[in-house]
Amino acid sequence: MHKRLLDFLDVRLGIRDILEQNLTKYLLPKNVNIWYTLGAVLLALLSLQFVTGVLLLVYYVPNPAEAFKSVEIIMNDIPYGWLIRYLHAVGSNVIVIALLLHMLSVLFMGSYKKPREFTWISGFVLFNLTLVLCLTGYLLPWSQLSFWATTVATEAAGAVPLIGDGLVRFMRGGAMVGDATLGRFFALHVMVLPAGLVALVGFHLFCVRRIGISKPPFGEDYAPTEVADEFVHEEHPGGIPFFPNYAIKDLAVISLFLGLLALLVFFAPGLFIPPSAFEPADPFTTPAHIKPEWYFLWAYQTLKIFPSEFLGLAAQGVVMTLLALLPFLDRGKERRPFKRPLFLTCYLLGILLFVAISIWGHYS
Amino acid sequence: MSEILESNQQRRTFLGILLGGVGLVLAGVFTWPIFRFLAPQAETEGGQIRLAKNEVSVGGAHFFSFQGLPAVLLQPQAGDYIALSAVCTHLGCVVKWVADKREFLCPCHAGQFSMEGTVLAGPPPAALESFPVSLEGDQVVVG
Amino acid sequence: MMRRHFRYSAGLTFCLLLLFSGSLALAEDTVCLQCHAALEGRLSAPVSAWQTSIHAQNGISCPDCHGGDPTDFAMAMSPARGFLGVPKYGEVPAFCGRCHVGVKDDYLNSAHGKALNSGGPQCVSCHGNHGVQQASLELINPTACSRCHEFGRAAEIKTAMGETDRMIAGLRTELASLARLGIRVREIEGEAFALRNDSHRLFHTVEVEKVRKETAAFQQRGDGIGGEIGAIQDELGDRKLIGVGVVGMLLLISIICFLIRKTYQQDEDAQRQSSED
C-alpha cells in the first residue's frame, strides 16, 4: 500500500528523488552537534503558534469594547480555551528563548560568515519580525498590560528627530492608543506579519539548503577553508544522513522544548504573564509597576541609561545594525571560537551586558 | 560489525514501536482539546425567553431568536399571545408576516400558514411548531 | 514647549512616570484642586489628605460630596451649581449617608446615632474626613473609643468581628490568586465584598448581642463562598494532573528519541571504523 502510493506519486512528481535528495541522501557533517536542532525546534514552535493562533481567532473579537471580554470567555467558558491561550502566550516566550539560543550558537560557531550572509540576515530579520509579532500580539487582549505596554513602546519612537511625533501618531493610528491601534495591530498580527514570517522562513531554509549546511568548527579534522568566489554547494561526503539519523535528534529536542512549554503552561503560566494582563484596559489609569516583557527589558533600560531618549534609541539602532551586518564586518576565514579571542571576548561580554542590563531593568 | 548493526536495528524497532505508542496517545491528548474547543456549545434545551409585551402590537408580529432559531410572537387580540417557530417546514426559509391578511407567507415557495401555524396552502408538509406562552407582569415568557 | 519638556523628561524616566502623572491629572484636574492646592493652611490641607484617601483611589472627588461645578472657576462654589460646602456636625451622617445608605440606617438606630444631637460620635469622629481610609477593625481601639466611654464593650465587638474579618480576608486572598491565573472570579469577589461590607456595617449598630448572633450567619455565607473557591481549585488541580501526564509523555518521547539517536550513532561509528580499517 505504502509502496503503491509512493509509486503513484513518483511517476507524477518524481517524489522518490526529492525525498532522497532532502532526507536520506542529504548528508550532514559528521561532527554535527545538538545546536543544529534549534532550527527544527523553532519551526515546530512556530507551527504551534499558527495552530493556536487560528484557534484563538475563532473566538477573539478585535474590538476594544469586546476584546477583553472575548479573551475572558476563551479563558473561562470555552472548553480548553485556557490551554490554547496559554500555549499561544507562553509559547511566544519559549520561541524567543529558542531564537536567542539559535542565534548565539550560530555566532559562537561563526556560521554566519561568507558565503552564508543571506542566511544570517534573513535570520536576523526573522528575529525582529518575531519580536514585532510579540509586541502586536500583546495589545490584542486589550488588558491594562496591553494598553500601557503598547503606549510605552510606541511612545519610544517619538524620540526619532523630526518625524518622531508623526511616526508615533501613524503607528497608533491616532494621538493615543485606541480603537484605531487595535485595528492595525490586529491586521499586522494575524495577517501581515505571519505571511512575512512564512515567506522569510522559506527563504532562510532555501539559503541553508542551497549553500549547504556549515561544518561545526570543532574537532581535529576541522580546518578553515578559503571561500571560493563562485557558487559552491558545501557537501559533506561520508556524513550523517539527515533522515532518519539526525531527524530523530531533532524530534528529541523538539519534544524537550514542548515539554518545557507544557511545564510552564500547566504549572507556572503566570511566570511570563503579569497581573495587569488580567485587568481590562483603562486609558485613564496607568498601572503602578509596568515593565516590558523580559526580552525587551534591555531596550527599556538602555533608554533610561542614556541622557536622552534619542541617544538611547540611536545606541540600540547602532547595536542592531552592527549585528545585522556582522558577516560583512567580520571577514576572517577562521571560525574556531578559541582561535578568535577578540570575537569571543566581545561575544561573552555582550551576553553578560545583555543579562546585566535586563536584570537592572527588571529591578529598576 | 554486522552484529552491532543488527542488534541496533532490533533496538530501533522496539523503541520505534514505543515511540509510536506514546506519540499516538499524545496526539489524542492534543486533538481532544482542539475538538472540544471548536465543538458547538450545548444549546440550553427548554430555556425560556422573556419579551416585553409592548414589542408586539395587536395584529402585529415580532421576530426573535429562540433556542438558536428564528421565532415569531403574535398578538391576535389584545392580551392574547401566540409564539411560533418562524422556520418554514418545507425547506427551512424564514416565513414573513402579511399583516393585512393576518397570515404567514413563505417567500421561497409561497407556502401559507395561519396565525396558529397550520398550513393554508403551498408545499409545506407540516404546521409551524408552536411554543407555550405565559404572561408575567408586563412580560411574555416563551418556552 | 510642553511637548519638548515632555520629551526630555521622558528620556530620563522612559515617559512612564509622566504618563502616570499625566493620566492622574486627567482624572483629577478639577478647579477645586487647582485653587485649594495653592491656598494655605486649613484651606489647602484637604487636597493632600484627600490624595491619600480611599475616595481618591476610587475616583470620588470633591464635587461628589461637596457639590458645585468642578469645571468653572467663577461658579465652582455657587449654591446655584449645587455647592453644599461644609456640613455642620449633626449633618454629617446625612452627608456621608447619601452614598453609604446601609451604614447610615444602622448608625442612626444605634446608641451612637441616637446620641448625635447630644454630642455623640458621627462618621468623621472615627473615620476622619478628607483622608478617609478603607475601614478596618483597627478603627475600634482604646484611644478612639475611650474618648467617650470605656473600651470594654467595643473590645468584645471587635473580637467577634475579627474572626469574620480574617475569614473574609483569607477568601479574598485566595480569590486574588485565582484572578491572577485569568480565572473569572468577579462575581465571587462581589459576594466576598458584599459580605465584608455587611459585616462592617453591622458594627455600626454597636450592639454586642446582635454582632454575636449575625457573626454565625456571616460564617455560613463565608463557607458558601469558600465552597465556590474550592470547586475552582479542584478544577485547577485536575489541570495540573493532566499537566503531569503531558509533560511526562513529552519527556518520554524525548528520551526514546535520544536512545534511538544513540543506536544510529553506534552504527555511524562502526561504519566509520570499518571504512578506516
Measure C271 CA to nearest chain B CA, in Å: 8
Residue % of chain C over a pLDDT of 70:
90
Query: pLDDT-based confidence at C158, cuts 50/70/90?
Result: confident
C251, C258, C268 member nearest A259 (Cβ): C251
Residue type present at position C123? C
C249, C260, C271 member nearest B12 (Cβ): C260
Query: pLDDT-based confidence at B45, cuts 50/70/90?
Result: low
Cell numbers found for residue A196: 512575512
pLDDT at A206 (0 to 100):
97
Distances (CA, A) of A301 to A306, A316, A363: 9, 11, 10
Q: In chain A, what residues touch B33 (CB-CB under 8 Å)?
A: 79-80, 83-84
The mean pLDDT value for B28-51 works out to 84
Query: pLDDT-based confidence at C187, cuts 50/70/90?
Result: confident
Mean pLDDT of all residues belonging to chain C = 83
Residue % of chain B over a pLDDT of 70:
97
CB C195 within 8 A of CB C221: yes
B124 three-class SS: coil
Burial class (CB in 10 A: 0-12, 13-18, 19+), A175: exposed
Would the CB atoms of A58 and B33 count as touching at under 8 Å? no
DSSP chain C: -HHHHHHHHHHHHTTHHHHHHHHHHHHH--HHHHHHHHS-GGGTHHHHHHHTSHHHHTT--HHHHH-S-TT-TTTTT-GGGT---PPPGGGHHHHHHTT-HHHHHHHHHSHHHHTGGGT---HHHHH-STT-----GGGS-HHHHTTTS-SHHHHHHHHHHHHHHHHHHHHHHHHHHHHTTT---HHHHHHHHHHHHHHHHHHTT--HHHHHHHHHHHHHHHHHHHHHHHHHHHHHHHHHHHHHHHHHHHHHHHHHHHHHHHHHHHHHHHHHHHHH-
Domains and CATH numbers, chain A: 29-283 (1.20.810.10)
pLDDT at B43 (0 to 100):
61
pLDDT at C27 (0 to 100):
44
Q: Would the pLDDT of C11 be above 50?
A: no
Query: pLDDT-based confidence at C163, cuts 50/70/90?
Result: confident
Would the CB atoms of B8 and C245 count as touching at under 8 Å? no
CA-to-CA distance for A74 and A140, rounded, in angstroms?
13
Interface of B with C in 26-85 (CB under 8 A): 26, 29
The mean pLDDT value for C197-209 works out to 82
Would the CB atoms of C14 and A308 count as touching at under 8 Å? no
pLDDT at C28 (0 to 100):
52
Closest CA relative to residue A50, chosen from A259, A191, A252, A181: A191
pLDDT at C15 (0 to 100):
35
Q: Would the pLDDT of C17 be above 90?
A: no
Would the CB atoms of C11 and A158 count as touching at under 8 Å? no
Measure C64 CA to nearest chain A CA, in Å: 19
Mutate to test the interface with A, among B36, B37, B44 (most CBs of A within 10 A): B37
- Name subunits touching A (3+ CB pairs < 8 A): B, C
C253, C259, C267 member nearest B5 (Cβ): C267
CB C53 within 8 A of CB C64: no
Q: Would the pLDDT of C24 be above 60?
A: no
A170 three-class SS: helix
Query: pLDDT-based confidence at C137, cuts 50/70/90?
Result: confident
DSSP C96-162: HHTT-HHHHHHHHHSHHHHTGGGT---HHHHH-STT-----GGGS-HHHHTTTS-SHHHHHHHHHHH
Model pTM? Answer: 0.81
Query: pLDDT-based confidence at B137, cuts 50/70/90?
Result: confident
A76, A258, A284 member nearest C27 (Cβ): A284
Where is B51: in which H helix or E strand? Answer: strand B49-52
| Alpha helices, DSSP H, located in A14-80 | 15-19, 38-59, 67-76
ipTM of this complex prediction, to 2 decimal places: 0.93
CB A276 within 8 A of CB A143: yes
The domain segmentation of chain C, as residue ranges, is 25-84, 87-133, 140-242
Residue type present at position C258? F
Q: In chain C, what residues touch A273 (CB-CB under 8 Å)?
A: 182
pLDDT at C176 (0 to 100):
92
Would the CB atoms of C249 and B26 count as touching at under 8 Å? yes
Closest CA relative to residue A147, chosen from A295, A272, A283: A283
Query: pLDDT-based confidence at C26, cuts 50/70/90?
Result: very low
Q: Which regions of chain A are under pLDDT 50?
A: none
Query: pLDDT-based confidence at C19, cuts 50/70/90?
Result: very low
Taking CA–CA distances from B16, the nearest residue in chain A reads: A248
Q: Tell whether C272 lies on the interface with A, counting CB pairs under 8 A.
A: yes
Would the CB atoms of A249 and C258 count as touching at under 8 Å? yes
Interface of A with C in 308-337 (CB under 8 A): 308-312
pLDDT in tens, A211-249: 999 999 998 888 888 888 899 999 998 899 999 999 999
Measure B48 CA to nearest chain C CA, in Å: 23
Would the CB atoms of A84 and B38 count as touching at under 8 Å? no
The mean pLDDT value for C210-229 works out to 89
The mean pLDDT value for C15-35 works out to 53
A75, A238, A284 member nearest C23 (Cβ): A284
Q: In chain A, what residues touch B37 (CB-CB under 8 Å)?
A: 55, 58, 78-81, 84
Closest CA relative to residue C34, chosen from C11, C60, C61: C61
pLDDT at C22 (0 to 100):
35
Closest CA relative to residue A29, chosen from C272, C99, B141: C272
Q: Would the pLDDT of C227 be above 50?
A: yes
Residue C102 or residue A188, greater confidence: A188
Residue reference for cell 446582635? C210
Q: Tell whether B37 lies on the interface with A, counting CB pairs under 8 A.
A: yes
Would the CB atoms of C183 and A76 count as touching at under 8 Å? yes
